Amino acid sequence: MGRHLGASADVIIAGAGIAGIAAAWGLARRREDWTVLLVDPRPPLSLTSNRPEANYRNWWPQAAMVELANRSIDLMADLQSSGATFAMNQRGYLYVTADAATAERLPARIAEYRGAGLGPAAADLLEPGEIRARFPHLSPGIRGAIHALRAGSVDTVGLGMAMLEQERGGGIELAEGRVVGVDVGSSGVRSVTVWTPDGLEQVETSRFVDAAGPWAGDVALFLGVRLPIETVLRQKVLMHDPLGVVPRSAPFTIGLDDRGGRPPGVHIKPDDSVAGDAIKLGWAVDQNPQPPIEDPACPREFPHDVLARAATIIPGLAAYLDRDPGIIDHDGGFYARTPDGMPLIGPLEVEGAYALAGLAGFGAMMAPAAGELIAAWILGDDLAGWAADFEPARFSGQYDRLRTPPGSAPSGEL
Ligand SMILES: Cc1cc2nc3c(=O)[nH]c(=O)nc-3n(C[C@H](O)[C@H](O)[C@H](O)COP(=O)(O)OP(=O)(O)OC[C@H]3O[C@@H](n4cnc5c(N)ncnc54)[C@H](O)[C@@H]3O)c2cc1C
């Protein structure tokens, strides 16, 4: 990463996670003559963006999220057509329930998602017989499932690097430093102050993008703006599956049932990224917001808890409960989420300031389209009608009223 930042830049972006990279990519594709300065104290893609479960889906209950996801998946395909080599599959998301009442409600759930603009081919409703025939590793107690089809795994770090590399020569400059202030005059953003390894530097600019992930709220305060973002810890466990309990072709499988007072949402998938027999497990057990830290200590009981819960869906996993399953990795990061579960993409109250934040558990999958959209805002393009659903202004003056109810997750989180 470069050190000296130069006297001025056309745009300065705080944060070189996948959001900041996508914003820089979106701009550089359109304005090769611009200098887009991407500032971060850390190497690119080394924080939350380096810890995802690496999934994507167009299966969302909100019409605008369906639009954003479909556009993003199209852009991922374009990147691959132009030579990018990040791994991606389309095995789908499989939502399963062992509860009779929940199984009965699955058709209504499909109808709700179709109402958000998804076509009839977006998902299949699976009856118990078909589930057993197609996914014999699942518990015979599973009574119903939805298989969302435009969905699967994507190497999210590879995707971020592909965007960065594609436009690196086209105006994106990476700089090591932390944004510590934004100077605002009567006509808006005037300059950004960055703490670099060589000391403080002030760079003139009239356009600033807050893409600081879990710290986006703190960065917005430099502008005197409050963002409706709360941060919750999310963890994942990567372990060996030497018995081959989870077929290598299995979809990303998510449990819809709560049990024993504990929430739904445990999820399991095969993961070939580090070992040929690896599986990845996660579970949104904790909905209580807490301040983000860079390397959160993940509770030691989580691997056992998540495995025990996953074994209610995939009984073969119980074999690893009383022997060392061979844990490869257990880490976590923070979802930065808004009360309505949708991102902040667009202008802030200060002229020349923008946010690309609040990306919760979908920041990687939505990144290409979000980068394209923030570039359109900055360049003053015509916007699709659904872009308004992501405008930070939707929360104006309502920050305190619109918090996520304690202990719950915004709609569509999984
Ligand atoms: C366990 C887990 C599983 C997930 N699974 C998925 C998934 O399957 N699919 C998916 O799409 N998404 C998933 N996500 C969500 C996804 O990882 C995030 O939405 C995404 O990485 C957010 O990217 P970001 O660039 O906003 O944040 P980050 O990657 O955190 O980047 C923010 C950057 O801002 C920098 N920064 C902070 N303050 C400043 C400052 N003052 N000045 C300059 N820079 C600053 C930080 O150093 C950091 O590098 C998951 C997240 C977690 C935690």
Query: Band of the pLDDT at 411, cuts 50, 70, 90?
Result: low
CATH number of this structure's domain 89-151+231-335: 3.30.9.10
CATH topology assigned to domain 11-54+157-229+339-395: FAD/NAD(P)-binding domain (3.50.50)
Q: Write out the DSSP string of 125-190.
A: EE-HHHHHHH-TTS-TT--EEEEESSEEEB-HHHHHHHHHHHHGGGTEEEEE-EEEEEEEETTEEE
> Per residue in 364-393, is it b (16+ CB within 10 Å) or e — as a string?
bbbbbbbbbbbbbbbeeeeeeebbebbbbe
Predicted confidence (pLDDT) per residue in 259-311, tens digit: 888 899 999 999 998 889 999 999 988 888 999 999 998 889 999 999 999 99
Interval between CA 383 and ligand 1 midpoint (Å): 25
Where exactly are the structural domains of the chain? 11-54+157-229+339-395, 89-151+231-335
**Rounded to whole angstroms, what are the CA distances from 307 to 7, 279, 311, 355?**
53, 11, 6, 37
Mean pLDDT of the chain: 94
Global pTM reads 0.96
| 3-state SS, one letter per residue, for 345-380 | EEECCCCCEEEEECCCCCHHHHHHHHHHHHHHHHHC
Whose alpha carbon is nearest atom 6 of ligand 1?
A: 52
Interval between CA 101 and ligand 1 midpoint (Å): 36
% of residues, the chain, pLDDT over 70: 95
Whose alpha carbon is nearest atom 21 of ligand 1?
A: 49
Q: What is the pLDDT of residue 131?
A: 98
Ligand 1 proximal residues by C-beta, below 6 Å: 14-20, 39-42, 47-49, 51-55, 178-179, 211-215, 219, 234-236, 332-333, 335, 359-365
Q: What is the pLDDT of residue 94?
A: 98
The answer to whether 278 and 332 are in contact (CB under 8 A) is no
> Does residue 175 surpass a pLDDT of 90?
yes
Interval between CA 135 and ligand 1 midpoint (Å): 33
Query: Band of the pLDDT at 324, cuts 50, 70, 90?
Result: confident
Whose alpha carbon is nearest atom 16 of ligand 1?
A: 363
Give SS3 for 344: strand
First-to-last CA distance in the chain? Answer: 35
Whose alpha carbon is nearest atom 4 of ligand 1?
A: 52
Do 11-54+157-229+339-395 and 89-151+231-335 fold alike per CATH? no
